[in-house]
Structure 1
Amino acid sequence: MSLVTDSPSLPEAAADSPLLAQVQLARAAARRTATLPTAIKNAALEAMATALLEHQEAILAANQADLEQAAEQVKAGELSASAYARLKLDAQKLADAVAGVRQVLRLPDPVGQALLIRELDEGLVLERRTYPLGVLGVIFESRPDALVQIAALAVKTGNSVLLKGGSEGLCSCQALMAAIQAGLQQIPEFPQGSLQLLTSRAEVKALLQLEGLVDLIIPRGSSSFVRYIMENTRIPVLGHADGLCHLYVDRAADVDMAVRLTLDSKTQYPAACNAIETLLVHAEIAPRFLPLAVQALREKGVELRGDPRCRQLVPDLIPASEADWRTEYADLILAIKMVDSLDEAIAHIERYGSRHTEAIVTEDAAAAQRFLDEVDAAGVFHNASTRFADGFRYGLGAEVGISTQKLPPRGPVGLEGLVTYRYQLRGRGHLVADYTAPQARPFQHRDRRDRLNTTGLS
């Protein structure tokens, strides 16, 4: 059984697309990868991991070339400092990416899983089984290591993927893809065309018009970039436009813990979408917490902006404006607001948050539970850094991105987010008429839980 079928009619915009041949190759590959045995997919992942390490010198040299060019773009104001930070790929980052590939290898195969097996009647059996989505278009800015994560997830889930990194990381992406392809060539059963690298903006524009040929677009990057993708395609889009995260320090917080969590959530990697942009502080704890937090944050080079009440405690804070509560800085800048209650903190998050990741610091279990229950976000944390919102840290192996939409998948999108399901019905010549006649035969609807979670692949 194949997942992907050719569209009955080609979209008009696709007929003249220079990408048409590549997408058709990807769809042909998806027909084969949809039913590849787990052992073959795992062998492909191990070959990819080995090849990435073998090609480390070439990969890091390519990244250095990108960094040198990007440094000039930063000086000219054409590239942000946060984008430059995400671009860097050193030996440790590459090792982490390879570890992610091998973690994906060890995870259960999400394809072919039986989610439901129900005997509607004797000899009439309904199954709901998982299958790959088909052809994915993943467009990301800066981070070249994202290419490795996405490729690993695509291989394990049996999807084909067309990847497009930012122009600032072109050399890095080309070197990474060359290494990955070298590894995949060691596995003859793995079809060519399942992983392809796009290199130009014109290809992205064309890709967005291929409705009916591409099954899902996943953008990763700045809010303006993601919004552009969402507004310029009719293909389903999975992602998030903003990463405006908050940390709320409750009146019952442990002050030392709150300072540590604030530092980690903001400064551990400020360019990440799960770094906090606003710090909410309860008025009762502010006199004890705020001076310590300000000192620690300034030692890390953070520019601090505060509301009038915070500035009464720390007069040299930069005045915060309404715009600061709505801004994703992705940089060493933090806005601070004082609140009088948990309700006020939740209301602020509801108004300004992006449903990405929100956290509370408190020793009050009831307050923590209210926060976890009432704050509507993909990730809601208690006494933990917002930086934990990550597919690798969740044990998903890797992620293609983080979704802030309410419908699933939500949060870090790993293996389970890249499969869909279909209903399969097996009978013995059963007729609906037999179940609707005056002497209708009754349905049995017996669930076969003993056969659940069995894979249809070997």
Structure 2
Amino acid sequence: MVASKITSSLTDIARQTRASASKLAVLSTADRNRALEEIAAALEAATSEIVEANQADLQAAKANHLAPALYARLKLGESKLQAAIAGVRDVAKLEDPVGASQIKRELDEGLILKRVTCPLGVLGIIFEARPEALIQITSLAIKSGNGVILKGGKEALNSCQTLVEVIHKALVKTKVEPDAVQLLTTREEIAQLLSLDKYIDLIIPRGSNSFVRYVQDNTQIPVLGHADGICHLYVDSAADIDKAVKITVDAKTHYPAACNAIETLLVHRDIAPKFLPTVATVLKEHHVELRGDTATRKIIDCTEATETDWSLEYSDLILAIKIVDDLEAAIAHIDRYGSKHTDAIVTEDSQAADIFQNRVDAAGVYHNCSTRFADGFRYGFGAEVGISTQQMPPRGPVGLEGLVTYKYKLTGNGHIAATYTGENAKSFTHRDL
């Protein structure tokens, strides 16, 4: 009986979201931007209230012994909140992705074809911890003319409820209906949400490997996201050691819980004796646990890495290290164990860099910089709804361009298809305008 009530209620919510989304889709750029500014201002005004709600979540998380990686993602202090608010305003400044004409073509005199971008419809976002993700996703959804149904993890319940309350109060002052942004609060609602393919056009999960795979395996709705964030850094024989140390430390320790932090460090055999002792010293100063293969353990003091370590996303201060014979071996390792998220090479050899960037199959392939740049905000997208490692676009950090589709608009003047078939068929002009 309870499940039936949930289904009915959730269907109603999804229907309301879709109705509000259809109105949002045709609002002007100015109207959608104004809504974003109202949200940013409201979040600023409610900073203390939001931080207080987050503190309640953090206290409960401690009591429930939440994993360190999830706890780090859950924390929403003033600085992280201000960055999220800045992201809302950055999204407002971006070019409107809706209504862009991609094709304008005369098929025949008076018969004009246009391909125009339009919103997807309704997004279903399911995420663990990371309450700031709610802010980022809502801003991108509104800017791209999409409705959004959000389901945060139970560990972030107070934070998410407070954020949505603030957002709804802000939207009342605008032409965007508050029902365009909905929040689900119970675990039971997840399975029901995944079944609403009639109302939801795209599911975006953000969370652990097992969580994302659960979503992918239990819905007929298209899913955008990544299950693993196993990122690699390869230090080539032609690497600048100081540069390599700096990049390694940043990529592992800047925010180890993030999906763009490196989990495996690959080191060319020729540079390993000089590089590894130096980088190990600095990493240990940052409390990083090192796990190395046999060749690595002959050079530095670390625990033994097993076959399992090459496939693990630690999301913690743990780093697996492997010495490889050459660039080809590094690429082969990444091909076997990588998750197609982000992989980087440190080298002063431009040819090696080109080979690496062309051969490694990942959404992000970097040269002489940290993998931590794999982020929608840092790419200038304002924010991101998630990072996709699938082959089909959108790929990598997904911003506004990943939240629109297109439709073909054809205008004629009594034109009929029969005119262009048969013995006396008329020819198309197919002239781009």
TM superposition shift of 1:15: 10
* Runs of 4+, deviation exceeding 6 Å: none
- TM value normalised by structure 2: 0.98
Matching residue within 334, 356, 362 for 1:349: 334
Quote the Cα distance in structure 1 between the aligned partners of 2:6 and 2:307.
48
Q: Deviations over 1:173-207 (max 9, x none)?
A: 111111111111111x2223100111011111110
TM superposition shift of 1:17: 3.4
Contact 1:17 1:206 in 2 (8 A): no
The answer on 1:416 being equivalent to 2:401 is yes
Matching residue within 316, 328, 337 for 1:331: 316
- CA separation of 1:224 and 1:214: change in aligned 2, threshold 3 A: same
Quote the Cα distance in structure 2 between the aligned partners of 1:16 and 1:152.
27
- Which residue of the partner structure matches residue 193 of structure 1? 179
> Amino acid of the residue matched to residue 284 of structure 2?
R
Q: How does 1:303-452 map to 2 (within 5 A)?
A: 303-314=289-300, 316-448=301-433
Secondary structure in 2 matching 1:18:
helix
Contact 1:87 1:143 in 2 (8 A): yes
> Amino acid of the residue matched to residue 399 of structure 1?
E
Secondary structure in 2 matching 1:173:
helix
Quote the Cα distance in structure 1 between the aligned partners of 2:199 and 2:156.
27
CA-atom RMSD in angstroms:
1.1
Matching residue within 121, 143, 148 for 1:156: 143
Q: Deviations over 1:326-370 (max 9, x none)?
A: 000000000000001100000000000000000000000000001
Contact 1:14 1:20 in 2 (8 A): no
- Which residue of the partner structure matches residue 286 of structure 1? 272
Q: How does 1:34-433 map to 2 (within 5 A)?
A: 34-74=25-65, 79-187=66-174, 189-314=175-300, 316-433=301-418
Quote the Cα distance in structure 2 between the aligned partners of 1:111 and 1:80.
40
Q: Deviations over 1:369-412 (max 9, x none)?
A: 01110100000000010000000000000000000000000000
Quote the Cα distance in structure 1 between the aligned partners of 2:311 and 2:41.
44
TM superposition shift of 1:73: 1.8
Quote the Cα distance in structure 1 between the aligned partners of 2:199 and 2:276.
54
Q: Deviations over 1:413-441 (max 9, x none)?
A: 10000000011111111122211222221
Question: Gaps (5+ residues) in structure 2?
Answer: none
- CA separation of 1:432 and 1:46: change in aligned 2, threshold 3 A: same
> Amino acid of the residue matched to residue 99 of structure 2?
G
Quote the Cα distance in structure 2 between the aligned partners of 1:342 and 1:212.
48
Instruction: Tell me the matched-pair count.
Output: 430
Q: Percent identity?
A: 60
- Which residue of the partner structure matches residue 453 of structure 1? none
- Which residue of the partner structure matches residue 3 of structure 1? none
